[in-house]
Amino acid sequence: MAQGNVKKAPNKQPVTSGGNKKPATKPNTVHQKPTTPPPSPKITTREKQIIWEDDNDVDIEDITFTVPIIISFIILFVFFLRKYIRWNVECQSQNRIEGKTVIITGANTGIGKATATELARRGGRVILACRDKKKGEAVAVKIRSKTRNPDVYCYALDLGSLASVKEFAEEFNHREPSLHTLINNAAYMGPKSMTKDGYEMSLGVNYLGHFYLTYLLREKLKKSAPSRVINLVSDSYTKGKLDFEDLALTKYDIYKAYGRSKLAMVMFTTELHRRLAHDIIQIYGVHPGMVCTDLLRNWPGLSGNIIRACARVLFKSPEEGCQTVVFCTVADKLREMSGKVLENCNVYKVKASAKDKELCKKLWNVSLHLCGMDDQIPPEEQSSSGVEGTNGTSLLTAEDIGSTHAQEEKKEK
């Protein structure tokens, strides 16, 4: 502090010659009463309020106007945000699917359960592929009674175990004559853990288990063509990075791990289309939007509680979230959209790097290796879109493509 600026108070006491300090005036003990401090005036509440307002420089009337304005603004913001997030296009197709068999993985809850209910309502033979068979059977009973469709069953499937996937596929291939639609829906999102085969759980369940399942069921899909595979993806694929040298994801983060598994699903959609389209199997990725389900159940801590609370207020219902999946299962003339990702029953633009041919091929071969099928890597299969094979040659001519499409339309009729 600059001491030079401080003014000294003048010394009002006179100094006597002897240097003794004396009071300037003696109190007159006879006439003057000892001075008592005057009684402080009573301050009314209103006066106190005014003093407080003066001190704080805030007008109480300002507050009574500002607070409601802020609250209204927050309510409006939440209202429009909710509208934006829940904007949903319903499946317009009224097609029924009697005589068609559909598998839905993870159908005991959330989007899978809503999809199963709607497809059962449309007359399909619906197979719920669930990790917990008891839960799955209970849901199957409910769907049967709700939709009056007796053709709803549950098979046990743990996507976190390649042995379980194989068992499921063998049982299905043995018992069921056909498979028209495979819906790869199940997913894990949560703290780091490992599948029974030692792979990081999100990648293992959300992608690798589905890769293996699709691979093992593809002969059935081919036999039942025209058939469809629907992969549930998510816009969080943009947060995922696929590093083949670090599949264990050493720097684990829930959202990044989930995003990586969904990136793998987008790439799988591209590659599967390239390999299977000539067999008249159509492949779709579906991003359902933000849906209030159990997906966030494993997100730990306060942030988990906050996200779950927001989801309850802002997100779509599972019945709304399943509309594009239902659309891809039942609608006609979707061939042009095969190999693409859809949201709200329309094409959703995917970033080019997620469709990189070489990376998609590499992921396919690495996945075969992870599933213990190195020795079964098939020669490059043909593509309906005339894209290149592994050796860089175009495999189908325009004529081939035309005849494949004609064949497909004929079969669809």
Ligand X SMILES: NC(=O)c1ccc[n+]([C@@H]2O[C@H](COP(=O)([O-])OP(=O)(O)OC[C@H]3O[C@@H](n4cnc5c(N)ncnc54)[C@H](OP(=O)(O)O)[C@@H]3O)[C@@H](O)[C@H]2O)c1
Residues noted as catalytic: 258
Task: Compare residues 72 and 346 and give the one whose CB is closer to ligand X.
Answer: 346
Compute the distance between CA of residue 305 and CA of residue 378 in angstroms, rounded to an integer.
47
Angle between helices 210-223 and 254-276 (to 10 degrees): 20
Choose, by CB under 6 A, the member of 91, 97, 100, 108 that binds ligand X. 108
Task: Compare residues 230 and 280 and give the one whose CB is closer to ligand X.
Answer: 230
**Part in contact with ligand X (CB under 6 A); list of ranges 74-82, 100-108, 170-178, 276-284:** 100-108
Q: Rule CB under 6 A: say whether 345 interacts with ligand X.
A: no
Choose, by CB under 6 A, the member of 132, 151, 381, 412 that binds ligand X. 132
Give the shortest CB-56-to-ligand X separation in angstroms: 46
Task: Compare residues 240 and 288 and give the one whose CB is closer to ligand X.
Answer: 288
Choose, by CB under 6 A, the member of 88, 185, 224, 404 that binds ligand X. 185
Task: Compare residues 290 and 359 and give the one whose CB is closer to ligand X.
Answer: 290
Q: How many other CB atoms sit within 10 Å of the CB of residue 299?
A: 18
Task: Compare residues 254 and 396 and give the one whose CB is closer to ligand X.
Answer: 254
Residues of this chain, 139-158, that bind ligand X according to CB under 6 A: 157-158
Give the shortest CB-108-to-ligand X separation in angstroms: 5
Q: State yes or no: cis peptide before 226, omega within 30 of 0.
A: yes
Task: Provide the 3-class DSSP secondary structure of residue 312.
Answer: helix
The number of residues that bind ligand X (CB under 6 A) is: 27
Task: Compare residues 348 and 380 and give the one whose CB is closer to ligand X.
Answer: 348
Compute the distance between CA of residue 215 and CA of residue 182 in angstroms, rounded to an integer.
11
Task: Provide the 3-class DSSP secondary structure of residue 40.
Answer: coil
Choose, by CB under 6 A, the member of 102, 104, 111, 229 that binds ligand X. 111
Tell me if 168 sits within 8 A of 155, measured CB to CB: yes
Tell me if 176 sits within 8 A of 102, measured CB to CB: no
**Part in contact with ligand X (CB under 6 A); list of ranges 14-22, 43-51, 119-127, 184-192:** 184-192
Give the per-residue contact string, 52-91, with ligand X (x = CB under 6 A; - = no): ----------------------------------------
Tell me if 361 sits within 8 A of 390, measured CB to CB: yes
Q: What angle do CA 377, 381, 386 make, to 5 degrees?
A: 150
Q: Rule CB under 6 A: say whether 240 interacts with ligand X.
A: no
Give the shortest CB-147-to-ligand X separation in angstroms: 19
Task: Provide the 3-class DSSP secondary structure of residue 152.
Answer: strand
| Widest Cα–Cα separation across the chain | 130
Q: Rule CB under 6 A: say whether 112 interacts with ligand X.
A: yes
Give the per-residue contact string, 266-305, with ligand X (x = CB under 6 A; - = no): ---------------------xx-xx-xxx----------
Choose, by CB under 6 A, the member of 188, 211, 237, 327 that binds ligand X. 188
The residues that bridge with 182 in the sheet, in sequence order, are 103, 229
Nearest to 354 by CA among 254, 277, 287, 255: 287
Residues of this chain, 217-236, that bind ligand X according to CB under 6 A: 232, 234
Give the shortest CB-161-to-ligand X separation in angstroms: 8
Give the shortest CB-189-to-ligand X separation in angstroms: 7
Task: Compare residues 157 and 342 and give the one whose CB is closer to ligand X.
Answer: 157
The DSSP code for 153 is E
Compute the distance between CA of residue 27 and CA of residue 33 in angstroms, rounded to an integer.
9
Q: Rule CB under 6 A: say whether 368 interacts with ligand X.
A: no
Angle between helices 323-330 and 110-121 (to 10 degrees): 40
Task: Compare residues 325 and 334 and give the one whose CB is closer to ligand X.
Answer: 325
Structure tokens at 41: 């005036």
Tell me if 325 sits within 8 A of 231, measured CB to CB: no
Q: Rule CB under 6 A: say whether 208 interacts with ligand X.
A: no
Give me the sheet containing 346-348, strands edge to edge: 152-156, 125-130, 101-105, 181-184, 227-232, 281-286, 340-343, 346-348
Q: Rule CB under 6 A: say whether 110 interacts with ligand X.
A: yes
Please report where in the chains the tokens 């594009």 appear, as a residue: 324
Task: Provide the 3-class DSSP secondary structure of residue 338.
Answer: coil
Counting DSSP H helices and E strands in the chain, the numbers are 13, 8
Q: Which residue is nearest to ligand X (CB)?
A: 110
Give the shortest CB-219-to-ligand X separation in angstroms: 22
User: What does the binding site for ligand X look like in residue numbers (CB under 6 A)?
Assistant: 105-106, 108-112, 131-132, 157-160, 185-188, 205, 232, 234, 287-288, 290-291, 293-295
